[in-house]
Amino acid sequence: MKISKPTVIAILTLVAPTALLADHELLDRDIVAGERLYQQQCASCHGANLEGQPNWRSPNDDGVLPAPPHDATGHTWHHDNALLFEYTKLGGRGALAVRGIADFNSGMPAFDGVITDDEIWDILAYIRSTWPEREQEAQASRNRPHE
């Protein structure tokens, strides 16, 4: 079945704004402040260049996974904005508990009370700004539209 050019344009017109609206938390953020905050709050574990810790896919002796990279080689871009925000604000254990996963041994601390919600969003926007376009688009597509 051949789809006409006007039909393709109409479909793209309907789909493109949905992805944009679904990603609004990371739009118009202060990337420079996000990078500064990342260096202050995150780099000691996740690396100054977002490279993560060595062997990040293998648990340490205590069963905790090392900090993953936040660059395109990691899995941060596989997650939606809500999870990334909650993981940062509530810590790994807290964010997964909200989703019904109890007793998860995470090394990710909670930043609630350490940095503001807006600062968390600035950090996440900075991290995403470092990814290639393909990863940015893939991550944006994982976000549900906002009403």
Residue 145: predicted pLDDT: 78
Alpha helices in the chain (DSSP H): 5-22, 31-41, 43-46, 81-98, 117-129, 133-140
- pLDDT bin (cut points 50, 70, 90) of residue 146 is low
Residue-wise pLDDT for 93-135, tens only, equals: 999 999 999 888 899 999 999 999 999 999 999 999 999 999 9
145 part of a folded domain: no
147 part of a folded domain: no
Claim: this prediction has a pTM higher than 0.85: no
**Count of domains forming the chain:** 1
19 part of a folded domain: yes
Full residue range of the structural domain in which residue 46 is found: 5-140
38 part of a folded domain: yes
**CA contacts within 13 A on the Cβ side of 139:** 30
What is the C-alpha to C-alpha distance for residues 36 and 105, in angstroms, rounded to an integer? 28
Could you give the 3-state DSSP secondary structure of residue 34? helix
Q: Please give the DSSP secondary-structure letter assigned to residue 115.
A: B
Could you give the 3-state DSSP secondary structure of residue 113? coil
Residue-wise pLDDT for 2-55, tens only, equals: 554 444 333 333 333 434 445 578 889 999 999 999 999 999 999 999 999 999
Domain CATH code at residue 136: 1.10.760.10
119 part of a folded domain: yes
30 part of a folded domain: yes
